[in-house]
A and B are shown apart, each in its own frame.
Chain A
């Protein structure tokens, strides 16, 4: 079984971003970048499927600037077999990314496509669902458990009211949630080995995909700051403040 995993290079999850003073976007110069945490979970799951003998090949794909090669090298160091970098500078939206991944999937013909449920930069939560739609294949989003049995995947999903289990016919798109697994750390020998693994480069034009954004970003702002709070000294004072100042009790 061949598994395709999409990975995105994003601002590190622990980094507190700043909005540019001119309101044109978020300051990305000299900012620590990392693999989107949900993509890491997707990749870890693919590697576990390969270690269990279920998957035979893992192809990692990223769409982004030349620097996204770092993210793919990390994916190779974690355990992907080969990588495809679709070079694209500038903004790309989930619809364009899904079209790019669909074009690659038509050539690669994976049995399973694993994606993070959302990227922690645009917080869109769309790409996996769009990819499944474009390929006319089933989707199982927000997965917290994945089992492959023959030509189906049994997926437990985290939904608003609890959990739900679906069976989807392969090939399928599965987007992963936080509790599916804990990604491994990459060892130094594996980082060195990853340098020799194949990494192919292509472009949206080569794939026949148009990444022109459909949304115009008119303005980016910091959220309004909350007014400074106070430290109370006792439970009694807290209850008094909530009753008489804030009037919420």
Chain B
């Protein structure tokens, strides 16, 4: 089995682990930016005859491009796999992670996106690279990129520790004032619930959940987050979960290893000072 892996940043090394579990022969394609789905998909389709499987990490780029490739090849893609059972059989979460399906692909070619948080990283050194001819798109063009404010915090999806905040902070000022020092002390990434992002306390790319980022750090500290099903879907595979919340009935406590009931405005500065 020969697999083409579409690279995308840090997630590539995790997707490589899944690709190698499907077969030892893996080639990596590193797309050049700007990445437009239409032209990149055409370039991958041109390479496809030489491959039995095409794999991409389930990043925003992978999720954007790979289904387009799949349809052009008349293949039903398997999205967001969390385990490789055999070269044609995979496990994947559905219903916000509340039902895990084991599915077998009957298509001759396999198209797979990989949940990076579910696989360890394998160094990509020594894996052969392939190049593709990506034409300038005529159907779409990139007008602007507005990256989130760069911070010195580690990347959310690969950080060892994540501190995450919810609606309870009440303002962006409080969110930053309480979470940034705690994250700095722990060298942690900052995450947020959907409510906190909707309210403008945090940037959209910090949202953890079913339709945001999926994380599985060694330690996840959920602060002022009630724990909707959709949020739990993005973090419940973390190794150790801490919940700090004023409401003892909050669903987040059901998945927490350590719960602390109380006011985040007094407990978080105390925690930062104690570390």
Contacts and interface: CB of A to CB of B under 8 A. Distances in A.
Nearest to A23: B102
B105 A215 contact: yes
Nearest to B85: A218
Interface string B37-50: 11001000000000
B100 A141 contact: no
A248 B218 contact: yes
The winner among A129, A137, A157 for most chain B CB atoms within 10 A is A129
Interface in A112-154: 117-118, 120-127, 129-134, 137-142, 144, 154
B24 interface: no
Contacts of A215: 76, 78, 103-106
Contacts, number: 250
Interface stretch (B13-21, B124-132, B138-146, B163-171): B138-146
Contacts of B59: 160
A249 interface: yes
Interface in B31-70: 36-38, 41, 59-61, 63-70
A32 to B, nearest CB: 14
A91 to B, nearest CB: 11
A180 B206 CA distance: 17
Nearest to A19: B99
Interface string A236-249: 10110110001011
B64 A129 contact: yes
B235 to A, nearest CB: 11
Given A159-B60, A165-B144, A223-B100, A93 B76 contact: yes
Nearest to B197: A179
Contacts of B106: 214-216
10 contacts: A122-B94, A130-B70, A132-B38, A164-B144, A166-B140, A167-B140, A231-B259, A235-B267, A238-B242, A241-B258
Interface of B: 9, 36-38, 41, 59-61, 63-72, 74-80, 89, 93-107, 137-148, 161, 186, 194, 197-198, 203-205, 210-211, 213, 218-219, 229-230, 236, 239-242, 248, 253, 255-261, 267, 270-271, 274-275
Closest 8 A/B residue pairs (Cβ): A214-B76, A130-B71, A138-B139, A129-B67, A133-B71, A126-B67, A162-B148, A162-B147
Given A16-B229, A246-B219, A246-B240, 12 more contacts: A17-B98, A94-B67, A121-B94, A121-B95, A123-B93, A123-B95, A125-B63, A138-B38, A159-B205, A231-B248, A234-B260, A235-B270
